Structure 1
Amino acid sequence: MESARQTVSSGSPLEPHIGFSRAVRKGKHVAVAGTAPIGDDGKTVGPGSVYEQTVRCLDIAEAALEKAGATLSDVVRTRVMLTDVTRWKEAGQAHGERFASILPTCTFVEVSRFIDADWLVELELDAIID
């Protein structure tokens, strides 16, 4: 039997424009899309701060996981994309605050830029619900 597909929106105005969901659950698997540090007001949270932006990305991703029936403890993989990989420790600090006891696989990569030049980091998460 095929599992139902559940989509989760964060309310981002980019979702309908681009045609994507913040998260998708299919069976026990939840994938959270590249998550940028956008505040409820639509502005970048923590301009210039990789740490603050990473915390915001994690907040958004965690809320999406919860809407899909998952928690951070279900996360098996994270991807941290930075415009300046030399600042990985700042993102790593925020990541470690959430995942030190969970220990998902994790990849840090440098990208040339994001849609908004003020964004310094984006995150993706994959979870498998037990």
Structure 2
Amino acid sequence: MDHHRHTIGSGSPLEPQIEFSRAVRKGAYVAVAGTAPIGDDGVTVGPGDVYAQTVRCLDIAEAALTAAGASLEDVVRTRIMLTDVTRWRAAARARGERFASIRPACTFVEVSRFIDPEWLVEIEVDAVLG
């Protein structure tokens, strides 16, 4: 088994500022950092829309998993952080569209804010291959 550490970037302008990787794979374990709803153009996707922002976060997380040699089927846990936890159902709907048959562990947490005040949600994902 490969126990080397592989880092995956996503091109986020925050990666070099914070010195983080979008994802890290070590052996069979893949950790995807908190994904924010940032479009390819660097602009927040779906301002005011928890569902649209959650979809974008999951798109970013899925791309990072793929780059790490994993897939949604390998996900064992998601952490969904919201600035307003009363809006959890919109995030849950988007998450359910990807994970209904996989059913990884999930935690919803309310946070006071994110780096960009337009962000309503960030998502972390953990996966284990094999």
Shared fold per TM-score greater than 0.5 = yes
Q: Specify whether residues 2 and 69 from structure 1 end up closer, same or farther in structure 2 by C-alpha distance, changes over 3 A only.
A: closer
Structure 1 match to 2:128? 128
Asked if 1 retains the 8 angstrom alpha-carbon contact of 2:38 and 2:56, the reply is yes
Normalised by the size of structure 1, how large is the TM-score?
0.98
Report the counterpart of residue 98 of structure 1 in structure 2. Answer: 98
SS state at 1:6 partner = strand
Q: Show the counterpart of 1:48.
A: 48
Are the counterparts in 1 of residues 36 and 119 from structure 2 also a CA contact under 8 Å? Answer: yes
| 1:20-35 pair list within 5 angstroms | 20-35=20-35
The Cα offsets for residues 55-99 of structure 1, whole Å up to 9 and x where unpaired, read as 000000000000000000000000000000000000000000000
* Displacement after TM superposition at 1:2 (Å): 7.2
- Give 4+ residue runs of structure 1 displaced > 2 Å after superposition: none
Using the size of structure 2 for normalisation, the TM-score is 0.98
Report the equivalent of 2:7: 7
CA deviations over 1:25-62 (Å, ceiling 9, x no partner): 00000000000000000000000000000000000000
Whether contact under 8 Å (2:2, 2:26) holds in the other structure is no
RMSD: 1.0
Work out the number of aligned pairs and report it. 130
- Look up the SS of the partner of 1:69 in the other structure: coil
